[in-house]
Amino acid sequence: MIEIIREYWLLLLIGQYPHGPLGGLAGTMILALLCLVLAFPVSLMLALGRLSAHRLFRGPAMVISYVMRGTPFIMVIFWSYYIVPLIIGRPVSAFWVMVVALVLYESAYLGEVIRAGIVALPRGQSEAAQALGFSRGRTMRLIVLPQALFNAFPAIVSQFVSIIKETSLGVVIGVHEFTYAANQVNGIELVKPVAVYSILAITFFILCFSFTSAARWLEARVTAQRTEQLA
């Protein structure tokens, strides 16, 4: 394993860049971060749609949430791979197909995280704001959402861990990420698949464990701060 790391560390880290697309571990992290940034506003709209009093908003948000959460992610990748170019009318790179698939899939889960954060807040805060003359939209924007997002932040970090792991499925459509780089190394070495994929597994474990530990620490901080506010 040490010999493989010494020989191919650059390929595993950044892929074929600068002689090809950026990939490897850097490609995985860029893909995961881009997905989280793009999925957040979509998930926010889904969460607010699920809580809306209007069926016009609540119905589609509920359908999207249930369909995405009830579908294997590999199927969402295949749908995106074939449908996105048809919608746009031109070929789309595998990277952006994977971005679309991740945003569609993760928005449903992040939407539920945000919705749970909103529902968990005491109703008295919204009622007090409306009694003071705040509109429903202003109450949600200025009072409910800041608290809900703060409380849900550890769960959002935990969901980011899931996104990192899901990026590995991009290898089925040729996305240049960490698993793709490991496959390239395995194709060169041929006789050391156990060592190559052990490096892949250990790296993913260290990465995900670090973010999971950060999420637990954040959750403890949020819980402590909430306890102080209630005391």
Which long-range contacts (C-beta less than 8 Å, at least 24 apart) are formed by 27-30? 27/175, 27/176, 27/177, 27/178, 27/180, 27/181, 28/164, 28/167, 28/168, 28/177, 28/178, 28/179, 29/164
Domain parsing of the chain, residue ranges = 27-178+205-230
- Say if residue 32's pLDDT is above 70: yes
- Report the 10 Å Cβ neighbour count for 140: 18
Per cent of the chain over pLDDT 70 is 97
- Say if residue 123's pLDDT is above 90: no
For 155, residues 6+ apart whose C-beta sits below 8 A from its C-beta are 113, 116, 117, 215, 219
pLDDT at 130: 72
d(CA 47, CA 26): 31
The torsion region of residue 190 among left (phi > 0), alpha (psi -120 to 50) and beta comes to left
In tens, the pLDDT along 159-181 reads 899 999 999 999 999 899 999 99
Between 110 and 143, whose confidence is greater? 110
- Say if residue 136's pLDDT is above 80: no
**Which 3 state secondary structure label does DSSP give 226?**
helix
Tokens representing residue 15 in the block:
């892929």
Of the CATH numbers 3.30.565.10, 3.30.390.30, 3.40.50.300, 1.10.3720.10, which one belongs to the domain with range 27-178+205-230?
Answer: 1.10.3720.10
In tens, the pLDDT along 77-91 reads 999 999 999 988 888
For 156, residues 6+ apart whose C-beta sits below 8 A from its C-beta are 36, 110, 113
pLDDT at 231: 55
- Say if residue 72's pLDDT is above 90: yes
In tens, the pLDDT along 92-103 reads 999 999 999 999
**Which 3 state secondary structure label does DSSP give 15?**
strand
d(CA 221, CA 42): 27
pLDDT at 173: 92
d(CA 43, CA 225): 26
